[in-house]
Amino acid sequence: MTGELSPIDKAKFAAAKRSVEFIEDGMKVGLGTGSTAAWMVRCLGERVRNERLRIKGVPTSARTAVLARDVGISVISLDEAKWLDVTIDGADEFDGAFNLIKGGGGAHLQEKIVATASDRMIVITDASKEVETLGAFPLPIEVIPFGWQTSKALVEELLISMDVMGRETTLRMNGDVPFISDEGNHIIDLHLNRIGNARQLSMALNQIPGVVENGLFIDICDTVVIGYGDGRVETRDINEGTVQNDRLDFVEADNLFTDLSD
């Protein structure tokens, strides 16, 4: 099956496969949202079935919860778990300091809550997501529906004083209607091109009335696992200052992901 995957999907699969090796019996695990995280959930489900791994998964979206249950992972809420050993999730961008932009799938609010309630956050990605400076990927902010246009105007006013290259803002749509998050909120995407001071911007955005959370993850990620289309995997740990290189041997008969779509 993996022989039919595109190079980018092979890279996601490789990173996901490597990341679940960090999971140990008895752990409580945050399960991310998005196409790369979906590979991870499937790989983790394989370990649960084949190794009788006993874990509890805390999903970061309704769609991740459905997938986790489908592959045999026991799902609990964050309130039940209280604290997690590790969260594994994808990212839309990451820089050299492991700062991230997340929220391309509209789940960054729950993703940030779960990640910050974990001893460790592991990000799984492909090499294309690494950037020198954050901002090429639109930065999402989640806003409550009441007065969202006022919140949007206040954000645009704030951006004038921020170190960013662009200031276009757009309401995320789902066809002809606004996209609605799992929490019932809207998403506004900020097309900034370059973010000069991500920490300052994150703090300022969250002071605006109506803004629930933004997609900047600052000082949250501990480990980045980067997959490549040829099966190579690079694991960087910011706390240990280490870089480890491995190679995954693709198994052509593997049919774990035949029904997985982005």
pLDDT of residue 5: 86
| 60 annotated as belonging to a binding site for a ligand | no
| 92 annotated as belonging to a binding site for a ligand | yes
| 237 annotated as belonging to a binding site for a ligand | no
46 part of the active site: no
| 34 annotated as belonging to a binding site for a ligand | yes
Per-residue pLDDT of the chain (262 residues; tens, 9 = 90+): 455 889 999 999 999 999 999 999 999 999 999 999 999 999 999 999 999 999 999 999 999 999 999 999 999 999 999 999 999 999 999 999 999 999 999 999 999 999 999 999 999 999 999 999 999 999 999 999 999 999 999 999 999 999 999 999 999 999 999 999 999 999 999 999 999 999 999 999 999 999 999 999 999 999 999 999 999 999 999 999 999 999 988 654 355 544 443 3
Q: Which residues, other chains included, contact 59 with Cβ-Cβ below 8 Å and sequence gap of 6+?
A: 31, 33, 65, 68, 75
The tokens for 218 are 């600052």
How many CB atoms neighbour CB 189 within 10 A?
20
Q: Which of 4, 24, 80, 111 is catalytic?
A: 111
Separation between Cα atoms, residue 15 and residue 75, nearest integer Å:
23
On whether the CB atoms of residues 65 and 119 are closer than 8 A, the answer is no
Question: What strands, in cross-sheet order, belong to the sheet with 223-227?
Answer: 74-75, 56-59, 28-31, 86-89, 121-126, 223-227, 232-237, 242-247
Separation between Cα atoms, residue 87 and residue 59, nearest integer Å:
9
pLDDT of residue 259: 46
pLDDT of residue 4: 80
Q: Which among 87, 112, 110 is positioned nearest to 100, based on CA atoms?
A: 112
| 246 annotated as belonging to a binding site for a ligand | no
Separation between Cα atoms, residue 250 and residue 84, nearest integer Å:
30
On whether the CB atoms of residues 94 and 125 are closer than 8 A, the answer is yes
pLDDT of residue 254: 52
Domains of the chain: 2-129+219-247 (3.40.50.1360), 139-214 (3.30.70.260)
Report CA 104 to chain centroid distance, whole Å: 8
Secondary structure of 47-108 in the HEC alphabet? HHHHHCCCCEEEECCHHHHHHHHHCCCEECCHHHHCCECEEEECCCEECCCCCEECCCCCCH
Instruction: Find the radius of gyration of the CA atoms of the chain.
Output: 18
| 105 annotated as belonging to a binding site for a ligand | yes
- In 71-171, alpha helices (H): 78-81, 108-116, 148-159
DSSP H or E segment with residue 177: strand 177-178
For residue 154, give Cα distances in angstroms to 94, 198, 213, 240. Answer: 27, 18, 15, 41
| 91 annotated as belonging to a binding site for a ligand | yes
How many CB atoms neighbour CB 94 within 10 A?
23
pTM of the model: 0.94
Separation between Cα atoms, residue 235 and residue 226, nearest integer Å:
6
Separation between Cα atoms, residue 206 and residue 135, nearest integer Å:
17
pLDDT tens digit sequence for 227-254: 999 999 999 999 999 999 999 886 543 5
| 241 annotated as belonging to a binding site for a ligand | no
| 36 annotated as belonging to a binding site for a ligand | yes
How many CB atoms neighbour CB 142 within 10 A?
24
